[in-house]
C-alpha cells in the first residue's frame, strides 16, 4: 500500500518543513509538491526532501490555477508513483488519523469506497512569534456552523481518494470528481489540523496573494481592505486569541485546547516518533461526531446558496420572456 | 440608506447621526410626520448628508441611479443597523459578488414604562432571536431585514440572498406610546433569559453625544469605533443564526421543488417556441423564393 501526499505551496517557510516531516512520519510514502514561485526558503526545503528521495518538486508559475495543479499531481501520483491512496494538502494542514497511522487508516477503508473526507479543525492564532505549533494549541469547536463567508473558521472537510489517473480535484480539495470511485460521506476517518493564520507577516502576505488568486475568499478581501486602510495589524489582532479570550471560549465550549500536533512535532524533534500516535478517545469521538453533524448543516447551507444562484438564473431566463407572457407567468 | 422618518425627533436625529458614523454616505428620506422631527431632518439636509424626496416611492432606485450606491439599506423609523465588523462598509465590501442581498438579524428592544431619560438609556433590553419553526416563513420575515446590493435597472428579481449568516444586526426600538414593560417583568425576563441586556447602541450614542447634539463624521472619519467580533462571539452568534431556522432539509426540498416546477414550465415552452420560430423563418424563406 502506497500513500502519496500532494501539496500546493508558496512562501510557507515557517511551517512547510514540519508539515512534510510530520506526514512522512505519519504514514505518507511520497510527496508531490507544486511550488508556486516561492522566494522565502520554501524551495530549498522542498529540494532537500527531493534529494533524499521523499519528494518531487514541480515548479509552477503565473496566475494561481490551484485545481489544475492539484489534479495534475493527483493523476501523477496514480500514473508515475504507484499510489494506492492520495491525500491533497496545503502547507498549513496536518492530517491526523483517528488511530494508527494515516496508512493504517486508509488501508482499513472498505474496498467499495474510493473517496473519504477528513474533518478540518481550525486552530486560532495566539500571541507571540515562536514556532506555530508550540503557540497555536487552541482550536474552534463551535456548536453551530459559522456560515460567515468572510470567516476562516467555516466548517469544511478535505478529500482523500484512491489513486485514479482520471481524477479531478476541485478548489481547496474539498471536492474531488471521479467516474469510478465511490464516495462515503458522514464518516471522517481522519482530521485535518488547519493553521491558516500564524503571524501578522504571514497573514498579510497570504491575504495579499490570495485576494488576487483564482478564488478571492471574503476573509482575504477583508484583510486586503484593512491593509489598504493601514489597519492590517488591527485586523490581525482581532483574530488573535489572547488568554482572556481563550478562557472565555473554553467556558463557552467554543474553543478547546488541543496539544496533539504540538506533542507529535516535539516527539519528532526528539527522535521519539513512531508514526502510530493513538488519538482515539471517547471524548474525541463524541466531539468528532458532533462536528461532523455541524459540517452537514454547513453543507446544507452551501447547497441552498447554490440553489439560490440557480433560481436567480431561472429568473433571468423567465424575464427574457421564456416563462412569462406580458410580464405575468402563464 | 433610504429612511422612513420617525415622528420622534430624538430618535430620528440619533438615527441619522449614528448611521453616518457607521458608514452610510447619504440618507434619502421624505418629510417627517412631526414638526420637531422635520426640524431635525432639515438640520441634516443643510449639512448635505440627507436628501429629501417628495415621496417614498423609488428611493432605492434613486440611491442607485443618482447616488451610485453599492448597497442600499431600507430602514424604518427606530431602526439602527449594527455592523459585525469595523463598520457597515467594512462588512458589506467583503460580501462575495454572487450575493445580492445581505440579511440583517432583527433585535427587537422592549419599551419600558418609566419614560424618563433618552430613549437609548431607557431601552437596553431586547428579546432573543425568535426560534424558526418548520416551514413557517413568517418568523423569518420578522427576524430578517434585507440590505440590497445596488444594481441599475427596474425591479429586484433574480436576487441571491446570503443565507444562514447575518453580518449586520438591526436594533429595532419601539415608537413612543407603544405598550411598555414594567421593571419587575424586565428583571424576571432577564433572570429567566427570555430577555437580554444589550447596551451596545446606548454606548455608541453616548460616545456620539457632544455639546450641541450628536457628532457627525469629520472629513469622512467616523466618531465611532466598532469592535470586530472575535471567534468566541462568532461561535455564539452562529447558534443564534441557526435558531432563525432559515436552512433545513424541508426548506431545501421546497426550494428545489419550486425550481423544478419552473424549469419544467420553461422546458415545456422552449421547444414549441423554437419550432414556431423555425417554421416562421422557413415560411419567410419560401415567400422570398
How far away is chain A from the Cα of B245, in angstroms, using its nearest Cα?
Answer: 11
**CATH number of the domain bearing residue B216:** 3.90.550
Is the pLDDT confidence value at A23 over 60? yes
In terms of pLDDT, which residue wins out, A261 or A206?
A261
Same domain, yes or no, for B190 and B264?
no
Q: What is the pLDDT of residue A258?
A: 95
Residue A274's nearest CA partner among A27, A39, A37 is A27
In this predicted structure, the answer to whether residue B115 has a pLDDT above a threshold of 80 is: no
Residue B70 exposure: Cα atoms within 13 Å on the Cβ side: 13
Name the average pLDDT for chain B: 87
For A215-223, what is the mean pLDDT?
Answer: 83
Which of the residue ranges A55-64, A69-78, B132-141, B218-227 would you say has the lowest mean pLDDT? Answer: B132-141
Q: Tell me the range of A21-35, B162-176, B180-194 where mean pLDDT is highest.
A: A21-35
Q: How far is it between the farthest Cα atoms of chain A?
A: 77
pLDDT of B177 strictly over 80: no
Q: How confident is the model at residue A319 (pLDDT cuts 50, 70, 90)?
A: confident
Residue B34 CA to its chain's centroid (Å): 24
The dihedral through the CA atoms of A75, A78, A83, A86 has a sign that is positive
As for how many domains chain B has, the answer is 2
Cα A35 from Cα B247, distance rounded (Å): 40
Total-model pTM: 0.89
Give the least confident one: A60-69, A119-128, B112-121, B269-278: B112-121
Give the model's pLDDT for residue A327: 42
Composition of chain B by helix, strand, coil, percent to 5: 45, 20, 40
CB contact under 8 A, A148 and B160: no
The average confidence (pLDDT) of chain A is 91
Question: What pLDDT score was predicted for residue A329?
Answer: 42
* Nearest-by-Cβ selection for B266 from A150, A312, A323: A323
| B191 & B157 share domain | yes
Q: Is the pLDDT of residue B81 over 80?
A: yes
Do B271 and B172 sit in the same domain of this protein?
Answer: no
The percentage of chain B sitting over the pLDDT mark of 70, rounded to a whole number, equals 90
Q: Which of A151, A218, A305 lies at the smallest CB-CB distance from B234? A: A151
A301 contact residues in B (CB cutoff 8 A): 163-164, 247
More confident site: A207 or A216: A207
Same domain, B100 and B195: yes
Whether A275 and A101 have beta carbons less than 8 Å apart is answered as yes
8 Å CB contact between A167 and A71: yes
Residues B116 and B236 reside in one and the same domain? yes
What value does the mean pLDDT take over residues B79-97?
94
Instruction: Say if CB B78 and CB B145 are below 8 A apart.
Output: no
Domain shared by B95 and B151, yes or no: yes
Asked if B232's CB is within 8 angstroms of A255's CB, the reply is yes
Higher pLDDT, A275 or B67: B67
How many contacts (CB atoms, under 8 Å) link A and B? 147
Q: Average pLDDT of A62-81?
A: 95
pLDDT band at B121 (very low <50, low <70, confident <90, very high): confident
Q: Does B157 touch chain A (CB under 8 A)?
A: yes
Query: Crossing angle of helices A218-228/A200-211, nearest 10°?
Result: 110
pLDDT tens readout for residues A288-313: 888 899 999 999 999 999 999 999 99
pLDDT of residue A325: 47
* pLDDT on residue A47: 98
Domain coverage including residue B285 = 248-289
Confidence at residue B163, expressed as pLDDT on a 0 to 100 scale: 94
Q: What does the DSSP assignment read for B231-283? A: HHHHHHHHHHHHHHT---HHHHHHHHHHHHHHHHHHHHHHHHHHHHHHHHHHH
pLDDT digits (tens, 9 = 90+) for B33-58: 889 899 989 999 998 999 999 888 88
Cβ-nearest to B238 among A142, A248, A304: A142
Residues 189-248 on B with a CB inside 8 Å of A are: 228, 230-232, 234-236, 238-239, 241-242, 247-248
Compute the nearest-CA separation of A222 from chain B (Å).
5
- Cell 512569534: give the residue: A129
| Mean pLDDT computed over B224-234 | 94
Q: What structural domains does chain A harbor?
A: 3-194 (3.90.550), 199-241 (no CATH)
For helices A232-239 and A200-211, give the axis angle rounded to 10 degrees.
110
pLDDT band at A215 (very low <50, low <70, confident <90, very high): confident
When scoring A147, A240, A329 by the number of chain B Cβ atoms within 10 A, the one with the most, hence best to mutate, is A147
pLDDT over 60 (residue B226): yes
CA distances from B74 to A282, B104, B146 (A): 50, 11, 8
List pLDDT tens digits, range A242-289.
999 999 999 999 999 999 999 999 999 887 766 555 566 788 888 888
| In a shared domain, residues B237 and B128 | yes
Q: Let me know whether B18 and B33 are in one domain.
A: yes
pLDDT of residue B129: 87
Q: Are residues B234 and B281 in the same domain?
A: no
Across residues B63-82, what is the average pLDDT? Answer: 94
Indicate if B183 and B165 belong to the same structural domain: yes
Same domain for B28 and B142? yes
Rounded Cα distance, A194 and A94, in Å: 7
Question: Mean pLDDT, to the nearest integer, of A60-76?
Answer: 94
> What is the CB-side half-sphere exposure of residue B212 using CA atoms within 13 A?
2
B159 touches chain A (CB under 8 A): yes
Q: In chain A, what residues touch B100 (CB-CB under 8 Å)?
A: 312
Weakest mean pLDDT among A82-86, A135-139, A226-230: A226-230
Same-domain check for residues B233 and B253: no
Amino acid at each position: 500500500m502506497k500513500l502519496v501526499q500532494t501539496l500546493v505551496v508558496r512562501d510557507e517557510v515557517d511551517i512547510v518543513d514540519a508539515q512534510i516531516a510530520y506526514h512522512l512520519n505519519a504514514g505518507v510514502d511520497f510527496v508531490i509538491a507544486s511550488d508556486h514561485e516561492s522566494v522565502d526558503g520554501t524551495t530549498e526545503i522542498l529540494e532537500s526532501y527531493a534529494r533524499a528521495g521523499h519528494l518531487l518538486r514541480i515548479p509552477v508559475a503565473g496566475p494561481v490555477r490551484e485545481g489544475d495543479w492539484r489534479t495534475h499531481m493527483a493523476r501523477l501520483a496514480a500514473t508515475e508513483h504507484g499510489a494506492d491512496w492520495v491525500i491533497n494538502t496545503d502547507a498549513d494542514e496536518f492530517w491526523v488519523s483517528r488511530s494508527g497511522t494515516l496508512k493504517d487508516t486508509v488501508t482499513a477503508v472498505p474496498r467499495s469506497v474510493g473517496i473519504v473526507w477528513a474533518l478540518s479543525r481550525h486552530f486560532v492564532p495566539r500571541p507571540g512569534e515562536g514556532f506555530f505549533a508550540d503557540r497555536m494549541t487552541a482550536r474552534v469547536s463551535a456548536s453551530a456552523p459559522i456560515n460567515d463567508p468572510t470567516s476562516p473558521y467555516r466548517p469544511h472537510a478535505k478529500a482523500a481518494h484512491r489513486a485514479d489517473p482520471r481524477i479531478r480535484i476541485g478548489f481547496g480539495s474539498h471536492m474531488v470528481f471521479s467516474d469510478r470511485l465511490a464516495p462515503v460521506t458522514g464518516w471522517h476517518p481522519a482530521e485535518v489540523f488547519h493553521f491558516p493564520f500564524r503571524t501578522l507577516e504571514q497573514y498579510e502576505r497570504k491575504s495579499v496573494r490570495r485576494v488576487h488568486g483564482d478564488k478571492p475568499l471574503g476573509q482575504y478581501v477583508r484583510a486586503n481592505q484593512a491593509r489598504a486602510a493601514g489597519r492590517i495589524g488591527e485586523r490581525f489582532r482581532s483574530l488573535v486569541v489572547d488568554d482572556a479570550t481563550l478562557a472565555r471560549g473554553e467556558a463557552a465550549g467554543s474553543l478547546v485546547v488541543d496539544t496533539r500536533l504540538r506533542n507529535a512535532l516535539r516527539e519528532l524533534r526528539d527522535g521519539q516518533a513512531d508514526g502510530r500516535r493513538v488519538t482515539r478517545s471517547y471524548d474525541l469521538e463524541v466531539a468528532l461526531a458532533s462536528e461532523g453533524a455541524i459540517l452537514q448543516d454547513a453543507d446544507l447551507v452551501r447547497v441552498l446558496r447554490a440553489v439560490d444562484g440557480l433560481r436567480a438564473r431561472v429568473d433571468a431566463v423567465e424575464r427574457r420572456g421564456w416563462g412569462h407572457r406580458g410580464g405575468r407567468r402563464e | 440608506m433610504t429612511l422612513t422618518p420617525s415622528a420622534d425627533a430624538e430618535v430620528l436625529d440619533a438615527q441619522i447621526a449614528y448611521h453616518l458614523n457607521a458608514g452610510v454616505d447619504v440618507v434619502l428620506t421624505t418629510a417627517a410626520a412631526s414638526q420637531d422631527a422635520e426640524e431635525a431632518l432639515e438640520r441634516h439636509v443643510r449639512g448635505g448628508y440627507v436628501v429629501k424626496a417628495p415621496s417614498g416611492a423609488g428611493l432605492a432606485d434613486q440611491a442607485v441611479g443618482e447616488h451610485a450606491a453599492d448597497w442600499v439599506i431600507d430602514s424604518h423609523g427606530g431602526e439602527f443597523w449594527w455592523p459585525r465588523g469595523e463598520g457597515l462598509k467594512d462588512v458589506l465590501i467583503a460580501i462575495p459578488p454572487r450575493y445580492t442581498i445581505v440579511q440583517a438579524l432583527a433585535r427587537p428592544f422592549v419599551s419600558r414604562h418609566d419614560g424618563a431619560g433618552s430613549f437609548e438609556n431607557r431601552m437596553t433590553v431586547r428579546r432573543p432571536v425568535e426560534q424558526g419553526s418548520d416551514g413557517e416563513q413568517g418568523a423569518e420575515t420578522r427576524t430578517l431585514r434585507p440590505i440590497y446590493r445596488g444594481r441599475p435597472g427596474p425591479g429586484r428579481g433574480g436576487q441571491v440572498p446570503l443565507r444562514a449568516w447575518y453580518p449586520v444586526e438591526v436594533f429595532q426600538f419601539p415608537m413612543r406610546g407603544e405598550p411598555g414593560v414594567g421593571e419587575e417583568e424586565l428583571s424576571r425576563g432577564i433572570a429567566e433569559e427570555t430577555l437580554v441586556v444589550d447596551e451596545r447602541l446606548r454606548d455608541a450614542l453616548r460616545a456620539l453625544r457632544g455639546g450641541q447634539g450628536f457628532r457627525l463624521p469629520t472629513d469622512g472619519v467616523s466618531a465611532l469605533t466598532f469592535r470586530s467580533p472575535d471567534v468566541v462571539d462568532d461561535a455564539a452568534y452562529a447558534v443564534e443564526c441557526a435558531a432563525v431556522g432559515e436552512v433545513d432539509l424541508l426548506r431545501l426540498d421546497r426550494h428545489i421543488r419550486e425550481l423544478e416546477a419552473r424549469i419544467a414550465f420553461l422546458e415545456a415552452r422552449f421547444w414549441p417556441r423554437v419550432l414556431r420560430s423555425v417554421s416562421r423563418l422557413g415560411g419567410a424563406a419560401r415567400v422570398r423564393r
